[in-house]
Amino acid sequence: MFRHDIIIVGGGLAGLRAALEAGGDVAVISRVHPLRSHSVAAQGGINVALGSTDRWEDHAFDTIKGSDYLADQDAVEVLCKDAPQRVIEMEHWGTLFSRVDGMIAQRPFGGAGYPRTAYAEDRTGHALLHTMYEQALKKGIKFYEEWLITRLVVAGGKCMGLVGYNIADGNIGGFQAKAVIFATGGYGRIYQRSTNSIINTGFGCAVAYRAGAALEDMEFVQFHPTTLYGANILITEGARGEGGFLKNKNGERFMKRYSPNLLDLAPRDIVARAIQTEINEGRGFEGGYVNLELMHIGERNIKERLPGIRQIAMDFANIDPVREPIPIQPGQHYSMGGIASDKDCRTSIKGFYACGECSCISVHGANRLGGNSLLETIVFGKIAGENAKEYAKTRDFESQDTIDKAVDDETGRISAPLNKKDGEPFFTIRDELKKALDENVGIFRNEMNLSSALRKTRELQSRYKNVYIRYKGAVFNQELVNAIELEGMLDIAEVICMGALARRESRGSHYRLDHPARDDANWLKHTLVAFTPEGPKIEYKPVNITMYQPKAREY
């Protein structure tokens, strides 16, 4: 049994920022070493209104408009107001932002009316995460690395702690806490074509869901317009922010048809649909891609501002973007939905908080603007840490019997597939799930395909009961870890399909071919899905509108 006042699950930017703010007897539990968290993969930059020519109100409006007016505007206000302080704090802690004339450099990003995306070349997440981890080491924060949290322990509506599986030795342990924060990342790996790390299975969301926390707006899945063809490695929006543009096989800059004002720097949902439309209508290259051209930017600018992208293109496509275009296609990238949380990062469970991509504080609504995800981690990571700290002061540790019983229950549940002598291997179910989502719950959706995906997901849930583990060892049994996470992936997929099937409109990343118009009269509301013994239950709640009334998006 382990005991800490505050336990944070997730070692990325949101989790580390929460730990720094919580201070005291705090611990971070991470599925991987913190510097292997998916935050390290963020490339293009972090949005912030700096100087006198840009205002937080303008940042907020761009965010709300980009969200297709589904974002909670009180939360967006917190995000954009706090941005300058958090970014400057990171610089003072040691983040080496790119600079122009001594000032932090900022580049244009999609959907923004001002070049407000600060960056560190095209490795911004890498720079921020290393800085944050250094601060955590400096503060002496306790880390439990290579633990998979499998259960959130709740009694009487209060969070009591956690149960985790130690990947390194196979032991199952209990963690008692006065407050728990989840910062476990997104669920992109339920899709095959994704920019996400393989650890981004959404398992944290699934654990919270099974414990009684509602999931919000899960049908809103972002597809990044530009991932490297065939590999789906992210090609940052910063490449277009630096002047890159898209061309189809006819050599046409086709974005003028879809966004005549912003062209290649329209919001991601618009650009992704435009690229997929070009491919679907036969104007893409054979195999299904279009080109991203950077050659005109110049060799010096590419090497100075986009060195990571050049390296990716050279290593994984044998292409030097100084001389050749990069073949790109859309791919799953980000999870707008997550654990339902308010602007103080509180959930419906007392003592349980969520921040970062696993949460849905709803600053992104139906479509996230590039550059706002890194910002969300450090703004709401801080808020989660300070609120968990204040809550923990009001509680004493209770009897550990509840945690002990949960450990016994999890030991039996996790060992069950190990004790089977035959059955179905996890990967056949996993691969069928990914294929079903890629084909039916992608950029373009309709009732027939969504219904098919939902039926398939439920069939796979039934088949999951027969999963067995071929490798019986305790040390680094990754087969068992993958099988455990697969159950959560199936839960998440079911919720996404249900929310998408019910939402009969098109808004942001959720585009229904059979309901192509946005319908504010009936669907300007958030989807909430709760786990019940009878199955998932859908409810809705209103969007918080404070500053800007919804109107048509024009780009």
Residue carrying the six token digits 């050659």 = 295
Per-residue pLDDT of 20-41, as tens digits, reads: 999 999 999 999 999 999 999 9
Alpha-carbon distances of 488 from 37, 206, 356, 483, rounded to whole Å: 19, 5, 19, 9
Sign of CA dihedral 511, 513, 514, 520: positive
pLDDT category at 467 given cuts 50, 70, 90 is very high
Average model confidence (pLDDT) across the chain: 96
In the chain, how many H helices and how many E strands? 15, 21
Q: What is the arithmetic mean of pLDDT over 202-226?
A: 98
Counting residues of the chain whose pLDDT is more than 70, the rounded percentage is 100
| Range of the structural domain that residue 282 is part of | 226-331
With 0-12 CB in 10 A as exposed, 13-18 as middle and 19+ as buried, what is 251?
A: exposed
169-196 CB burial, b ≥16 within 10 A, e <16: ebebbbbbbbbbbbbbbbbbbbbbbbbb
- Asked whether residue 399 carries a pLDDT value surpassing 90, the answer given is no
**Which ranges of 146-296 does DSSP label H, i.e. alpha helix?**
203-211, 238-241, 268-280
Type of residue found at 378: I
Q: Which one of 286, 310, 331 terminates a domain?
A: 331
With 0-12 CB in 10 A as exposed, 13-18 as middle and 19+ as buried, what is 365?
A: buried
Structural domain contains residue 55: no
Structural domain contains residue 548: no
The phi-psi region of residue 214 (left if phi > 0; otherwise alpha if psi is between -120 and 50; otherwise beta) is: beta
Q: Which one of 276, 304, 331 terminates a domain?
A: 331
What is the number of domains present in the chain?
A: 2
Q: What is the pLDDT of residue 353?
A: 98
Q: Please tell me whether residue 307 adopts helix, strand or coil conformation.
A: helix
Structural domain contains residue 126: no
Which stretch of DSSP H or E encloses residue 172? strand 172-182
Q: What is the pLDDT of residue 398?
A: 87
Alpha-carbon distances of 98 from 193, 236, 342, 360, 473, rounded to whole Å: 31, 16, 33, 30, 47
Per-residue pLDDT of 38-50, as tens digits, reads: 999 999 999 999 9
Q: What is the arithmetic mean of pLDDT over 378-388?
A: 98
Q: What is the pLDDT of residue 66?
A: 97
Which stretch of DSSP H or E encloses residue 62? helix 56-66
| Catalytic site residue from 17, 31, 193, 268 | 268
Say which CATH number the domain at 485 has. 1.20.58.100
DSSP state of 369: P
pLDDT category at 51 given cuts 50, 70, 90 is confident
CA–CA distance, 121 with 417 (Å, rounded to integer): 46
Sign of CA dihedral 307, 309, 310, 315: positive
DSSP state of 164: E
Q: Which one of 291, 310, 331 terminates a domain?
A: 331
CA–CA distance, 268 with 246 (Å, rounded to integer): 13
Give the pairing of strands 142-145 and 26-30: parallel
Q: At what angle do helices 447-464 and 478-502 cross, to 10 degrees?
A: 150
Say which CATH number the domain at 257 has. 3.90.700.10
Per-residue pLDDT of 150-179, as tens digits, reads: 999 999 999 999 999 999 999 999 999 999
CA–CA distance, 465 with 535 (Å, rounded to integer): 16
CA–CA distance, 345 with 79 (Å, rounded to integer): 12
- Asked whether residue 270 carries a pLDDT value surpassing 90, the answer given is yes
Q: Please tell me whether residue 339 adopts helix, strand or coil conformation.
A: strand
CA–CA distance, 356 with 42 (Å, rounded to integer): 13
Structural domain contains residue 212: no
- Asked whether residue 383 carries a pLDDT value surpassing 90, the answer given is yes
Angle at 227 between CA 221 and CA 232, to 5 degrees: 85
Q: What is the arithmetic mean of pLDDT over 71-80?
A: 98
CA–CA distance, 25 with 5 (Å, rounded to integer): 5
Task: Name the CA dihedral angle for 391, 137, 375, 349, rounded to a multiple of 10 degrees.
Answer: -30
For 158, phi then psi, to 5°, come to: -115, 145
Structural domain contains residue 532: no
Write the DSSP string, 460-488.
Answer: HHHHHTTB--S---STT-HHHHHHHHHHH
Q: What is the pLDDT of residue 114?
A: 94
Q: What is the pLDDT of residue 473?
A: 94
Residue 268 designated active-site: yes
Structural domain contains residue 540: no
Q: Please tell me whether residue 42 adopts helix, strand or coil conformation.
A: coil
Of the candidates 381, 377, 305, which has an alpha carbon nearest to the alpha carbon of residue 334?
A: 377
Structural domain contains residue 90: no
Q: What is the pLDDT of residue 95?
A: 97
Structural domain contains residue 289: yes
- Asked whether residue 555 carries a pLDDT value surpassing 90, the answer given is no
Partners of 224 in beta bridges = 331
pTM of the predicted model as reported, rounded to 2 decimal places: 0.96
CA–CA distance, 444 with 279 (Å, rounded to integer): 13
pLDDT category at 379 given cuts 50, 70, 90 is very high
- Asked whether residue 52 carries a pLDDT value surpassing 90, the answer given is no
Write the DSSP string, 97-154.
Answer: --EETTEEPEE--TT-SS--EE-STT-HHHHHHHHHHHHHHHHT-EEEESEEEEEEEE
The answer to whether 30 and 10 are in contact (CB under 8 A) is: yes
Per-residue pLDDT of 96-106, as tens digits, reads: 999 999 999 99
CA–CA distance, 292 with 240 (Å, rounded to integer): 8
Alpha-carbon distances of 416 from 150, 207, 295, 409, 480, rounded to whole Å: 14, 18, 56, 11, 11
Per-residue pLDDT of 107-163, as tens digits, reads: 999 999 999 999 999 999 999 999 999 999 999 999 999 999 999 999 999 999 999
DSSP state of 214: P
Tokens of 166: 């130690």
- Asked whether residue 376 carries a pLDDT value surpassing 90, the answer given is yes
- Asked whether residue 481 carries a pLDDT value surpassing 90, the answer given is yes
Per-residue pLDDT of 501-529, as tens digits, reads: 999 999 999 999 999 999 999 999 999 99
